[in-house]
Amino acid sequence: MSSEDVTRRLAQVQDRVAAACVAAGRPPGAVQVLLASKTMDVATVRAALAADAAARAAGSGTPPVLLGENRVQELTAKAPALVDLSPTWHVIGPLQSNKVTAALRWASAVESVADEVLARRLSDRVRDRPEPLEVWVQVNVSGEATKHGVTPDAAPDLAARVAALPGLRLAGFMTIGARSDDERVVRDGFARLRAVRDEVVAGGAPGTGHAHGLSMGMSGDLEAAVLEGSTLVRLGTAVFGARRPAAGTVA
Ligand SMILES: *Cc1c(COP(=O)(O)O)cnc(C)c1O
């Protein structure tokens, strides 16, 4: 995809997000955009970051886009080549223990924490840092077997345990929406994540005071997610076009 195409598509996506905020009665800019750059090459990601910087310089008023990778291998391949632009990287896929060190060289946040073992490993690696590592608890709201994440029922307890670990700052909750053509089903799933968030914040356990974030909504369901309170949408195909299927790549 040409850099003109990426520029145009990013502008369209930001318009979609802004319109969704208006439709939800929320202030424009209430929702941040993360670009899911899996399978995209460095030049394409660079074009998107340049387009974002240009839009903001022209007064778009949008917060800077974030970048997200599912696989640590892709993160460590792309991040060094983009270091001059100092993007903020989030890990958005399951993180194996043997990849934690490599991931933490580049990622400012891990959105896919779904068990206490990973949270403890992250905490051990960052507890001596001056700034905490941002973590999100991933919840499987649809119950689909292919999806990573803790069950909604178990999420509040896990969140409280994660939030109490040294060096971590629980920023909120992440989910991948139900794979369904029924808008009601998709929205119910997002509402479920919001209910988990509300329960945890209201519970007031130590370290949960910042856990207001809701990372939910992708290219096909961002409007539903924004209506249900998303604060961060993770977008791939809407900006970059269809991904070429690559061996071993989670689509
Ligand atoms: C790929 C991916 C996205 C973006 O998906 P699109 O449908 O291409 O927008 C968002 N979140 C996660 C975890 C992903 O793996």
Which residues are CB-contacts of 197 (< 8 A; sequence separation ≥ 6)? 172, 173, 211, 212, 213, 214
Q: What is the pLDDT of residues 201-231, one digit of tens each?
A: 999 999 999 999 999 999 999 999 999 999 9
Query: If you measure from the C-alpha of residue 119 to the centroid of ligand 1, how many angstroms do you get, rounded to a whole number?
Result: 22
Q: What is the pLDDT of residues 158-184, one digit of tens each?
A: 999 999 999 999 999 999 999 999 999
Distance CA 190, CA 183 (A): 11
How large is the average pLDDT for residues 185-207?
98
Name residue 234's beta-bridge partners. Answer: 34
Distance CA 204, CA 221 (A): 31
Q: Which pLDDT score is estimated for 246?
A: 57
Q: Which pLDDT score is estimated for 143?
A: 93
Query: If you measure from the C-alpha of residue 218 to the centroid of ligand 1, how many angstroms do you get, rounded to a whole number?
Result: 6
How large is the average pLDDT for residues 70-90?
98
Q: What is the pLDDT of residues 103-130, one digit of tens each?
A: 999 999 999 999 999 999 999 999 999 9
Residue 251 scores a pLDDT above 60: no
How large is the average pLDDT for residues 143-160?
96
How large is the average pLDDT for residues 21-38?
95
Q: What is the pLDDT of residues 3-20, one digit of tens each?
A: 999 999 999 999 999 999
Backbone angles phi, psi at 18, to 5 degrees: -65, -40
Q: Which pLDDT score is estimated for 88?
A: 98
> Which residue among 218, 221, 235, 243 is best mutated to probe the pocket of ligand 1, counting the most ligand atoms within 8 A of its Cβ?
218
Question: Which CATH number, 3.20.20.10, 3.40.50.2000, 3.40.640.10, 3.30.70.60, labels domain 3-240?
Answer: 3.20.20.10
Query: If you measure from the C-alpha of residue 94 to the centroid of ligand 1, how many angstroms do you get, rounded to a whole number?
Result: 13
Q: Which pLDDT score is estimated for 244?
A: 78
How large is the average pLDDT for residues 63-86?
97
- Residue of the CA atom closest to atom 2 of ligand 1: 36
Query: If you measure from the C-alpha of residue 207 to the centroid of ligand 1, how many angstroms do you get, rounded to a whole number?
Result: 28
What SS3 state is found at 174?
strand
> Which residue among 92, 146, 190 is best mutated to probe the pocket of ligand 1, counting the most ligand atoms within 8 A of its Cβ?
92
What residues does ligand 1 touch, defined as CB less than 6 Å away?
A: 36, 38, 70, 92-93, 176, 218-220, 234-238
Nearest to 150 by CA among 142, 140, 136, 159: 140
Q: Which pLDDT score is estimated for 44?
A: 97
Distance CA 38, CA 75 (A): 9
Residue 1 scores a pLDDT above 90: no
> Which residue among 234, 239, 249 is best mutated to probe the pocket of ligand 1, counting the most ligand atoms within 8 A of its Cβ?
234
- Helix, strand, coil proportions of the chain in percent (round to 5)? 45, 15, 40
In percent, how much of the chain has pLDDT > 90?
95
Q: Which pLDDT score is estimated for 28?
A: 83
pTM of the model: 0.96
Q: How many CB atoms lie within 10 A of CB 220?
A: 14
Distance from first CA to last CA of the chain, Å, rounded? 18
Q: Provide the mean pLDDT of the chain.
A: 95
What are the domain boundaries of the chain?
3-240
Nearest to 198 by CA among 244, 155, 148, 134: 155
Q: What is the pLDDT of residues 41-70, one digit of tens each?
A: 999 999 999 999 999 999 999 999 999 999
Query: If you measure from the C-alpha of residue 217 to the centroid of ligand 1, how many angstroms do you get, rounded to a whole number?
Result: 9
